[in-house]
Amino acid sequence: MATQMPSARTAPAPRRHARKPAGRGVRGPVAARRAPGAPARVRWDRVGRVGLLVVLAVVVGLYVQQALSYLSTRALAQQQLSNVRRLERENAILARQQQALNDPGTIVRDARALGMVRPGERAYTITGLSSR
C-alpha cells in the first residue's frame, strides 16, 4: 500500500467575508453579536482616540497656562515701565529744583522773604498798611 505524500501546495486560507457597512438594516441598528455573559470587546481605535484627546487637552492646558502667565508678566512689565517713567520725570523736576536752590540769587531772595538781613544792614518794619 502506498502512502500518500502531502501536497507541496499549502491549503488555501479560509475566505473572509467582507463586512457589511454598519447602519440601519431591515431589523434596526446592527447590534454587536456576542454571547451572553461574555466580556465586551475593547475598541482600541476608540481608546486611542480618547488617549489622543486627553494628551491634546493636557498640551492645550499647558499652552493656555503659559499664555496667561505671559500676559500677566507683560502687564506687570508695562506697569513697572510706567512707574519708572513717572519716577524719571520726578527726578528731573527735583534736579531742576536743586539747581535753582543752589543758585546764590535764589538763596538771597528766600532769605529776604524770611526777614533776614546781611551783616551791617538795618531791618525796617512797616506797619499799618492795609492788606489788599
Locate 65 and state its grid cell. 497656562
Q: Which residues pair with 25 in a beta bridge?
A: 28
pLDDT at 41: 83
Q: Which residue has the cell 476608540?
A: 46
Residue in 111, 63, 93, 80 with CA at minimum distance from that of residue 55: 63
pTM above 0.85, yes or no: no
Cβ contact 100:94 at 8 Å: no
DSSP string, 10-30: PPPPPPPPPPPPPSEETTEEP
Locate 61 and state its grid cell. 492646558
25 pLDDT higher than 80: no
pLDDT at 115: 86
27 pLDDT higher than 60: no
**CA-CA distance, 116 to 34, in Å (whole number)?**
113
**CA-CA distance, 118 to 108, in Å (whole number)?**
9
* Max mean pLDDT range (16-20, 37-41, 45-49, 127-131): 45-49
